A and B are shown apart, each in its own frame.
Chain A
Amino acid sequence: MVKALVIAGDVIGFILLAYLLAWAAALAVIAFLGIVLIVSRGRSDAVRNAFRHAVAAGAPAGSLRAGPVAPPGRGVGVMPAIRKLQAADPGFDLTAFLDNARVAVGAYAMAYLAEDDRLLRRVTTPGFWQTPNGKEVAAIVANWQRYAGSRPGTANRGRTVLDISWRRPEVTNVALAEQGMDRITVRLASLTIVVPGPGWHRIDAATQFDWEFVRPAGQRTDPGSVLLPRTCASCGGPYHSDLDDACRYCHTARADTQAGWRLDRNYLVVNA
């Protein structure tokens, strides 16, 4: 009897201990996140940069790129390479290229914030989805699909997106015919304004990314591919939204040529 009481006492003690430890761990995580929030959003650049260095050091390969905030004119050195590209491909137009890059930025923001990756899937290479950022977006969308799957009729996705824009796009690297691909890197800051949910304060964020676009080496710009595909090539039915990834009438998959260039990977740029 006494032995049973001792055992019961030990079990209760262990349960209490585990309970307290769980609370301590939860409080530690909350305190850690609180410190991160205060430090990363504080006004001290020195502290913020120390935080950034620490995070950059621990990030998985291929998701972050440490670099300075691009000063104006940083991309001037790539002009000869762009000229070389234009000489080989007279139809290449930098303004149109950057305009297409903006679509990828918008599509990425829609996938990340509104949890809808239909457009992003049309403007990326298969390799993008093997990168850390691609996998992260895929996981976010898969989570929503699981959530919506168990709640028929769910329409709203993700957070309330109030604004998506970009600042200071700049071509920072042009690599031609490397490993069979032409590759152009664009550095820019994307700005998003979202409301996480009803009653929440909105969150404004400006995040700097490097975006790498590729196309097969030697490919030339097809003037026809600059036209936006607004109707189904198979049945002629109109697309109602840029997010439509298939014709609503004949269900043929929708192509999006992006004038040949596709997003291959992107990196968060953390100030060095």
Chain B
Amino acid sequence: MILRVVPHLGNMLRQEAATETGVRAQTSAEELTPADDQAVVAAALAGIRAHDAGFDLAATTSGVGRAREVVDRARQAGDASAARAVLSDGLWRVFGLLLEARAAHFVQRQETSAIVAAEVVAATRDSLAEQLRIRLTCRGERYELSYGAEVRGQPGQQTWQEDWVIRRSAQATTPANGGILAGLCPSCGASLRVEADGSCAYCQALVLTGGQDWVVWSIEEAPW
């Protein structure tokens, strides 16, 4: 018995040694990745505009807000397929795994919220990819139940922030029709309907790899 427990203790200690606890994160100033210097952000945005004349920051930010609504609906319905059209392939697969794991323990999110502010807090562009970190300030109520008991958050109105990271290839440019964040295929322009394998239902183009247009690449919430 002891011999079986000792290796587990070793594993626990190694995990512990490499772990930053959420409590620690909550007490530190770094609840979310710190914002970059505004001058750096402005320079990166200028770089994006220089190669993509159609880039419209307001429309992009608004599209992220729309994507958030889609993902929220999918999360509350426990149906990952509803979020297929906005998340990158990998993020969507992990999102699906997560919803399955949550469903197995009857986890439900109760949320009614609205975005009250949005700001680009980081922007990067290199020869391979472009990435924007958009910080959304949200107001509303959110909490999660498992087997009917609260396990995260609590009822009542609150204000919080979330980072939505979008990414695309450095060669991609904004489609004339607005693209994925506007709910349209960046390749054929049809209303975006994505097959389960990640291709557009009409033109079969791979649209959620980030090669042609912005995709939601990461969703980061401060501990709550």
Contact = CB atoms under 8 A, between A and B. Distances in A.
B128 A94 contact: yes
Interface of B: 9-11, 13-25, 27, 33, 88-91, 93-94, 96-98, 100-102, 104-105, 107, 126-129, 144, 146-147, 149, 151-152, 167-169, 195-199, 206, 209-211, 217-221, 223
A103 B105 contact: no
A168 B165 CA distance: 11
A64 interface: yes
Given A55-B17, A160-B101, A165-B219, 7 more contacts: A41-B21, A55-B16, A99-B90, A102-B90, A106-B90, A164-B97, A228-B93
Given A41-B23, A94-B129, A193-B22, A227 B97 contact: no
A22 to B, nearest CB: 10
Contacts of A55: 13-14, 16-17
Contacts of A193: 22, 152
A82 B100 CA distance: 35
B33 to A, nearest CB: 7
A119 B91 contact: no
A218 B206 CA distance: 24
A202 to B, nearest CB: 6
A106 B126 CA distance: 27
Contacts of A160: 101-102, 105, 107, 146, 151
A227 B209 CA distance: 10
B17 A161 contact: no
A238 interface: yes
A230 interface: yes
Contacts of B195: 230
A60 B196 CA distance: 42
Contacts, number: 189
A214 interface: no
27 contacts: A36-B16, A43-B24, A55-B13, A64-B14, A82-B128, A94-B129, A95-B88, A95-B169, A95-B209, A96-B211, A99-B91, A99-B217, A103-B90, A103-B93, A106-B93, A106-B94, A157-B104, A160-B107, A161-B98, A161-B101, A161-B105, A164-B98, A165-B221, A204-B22, A205-B19, A226-B198, A242-B97
Interface of A: 33, 36-37, 40-41, 43, 51-52, 55-56, 58-60, 63-64, 79, 82-83, 93-96, 98-103, 105-107, 110, 113-114, 119, 136, 155-157, 160-168, 189, 193, 195, 198-199, 202-209, 226-231, 238, 241-243, 268-270
Contact of B97 (A64, A106, A229): A106
A224 to B, nearest CB: 10
Contact of B144 (A162, A189, A238): A162
Contacts of B211: 93, 95-96
A240 B11 CA distance: 34
B104 to A, nearest CB: 6
A249 to B, nearest CB: 16
B17 A51 contact: yes
A164 B97 CA distance: 9
Given A36-B13, A41-B24, A243 B97 contact: yes
A40 B27 CA distance: 15
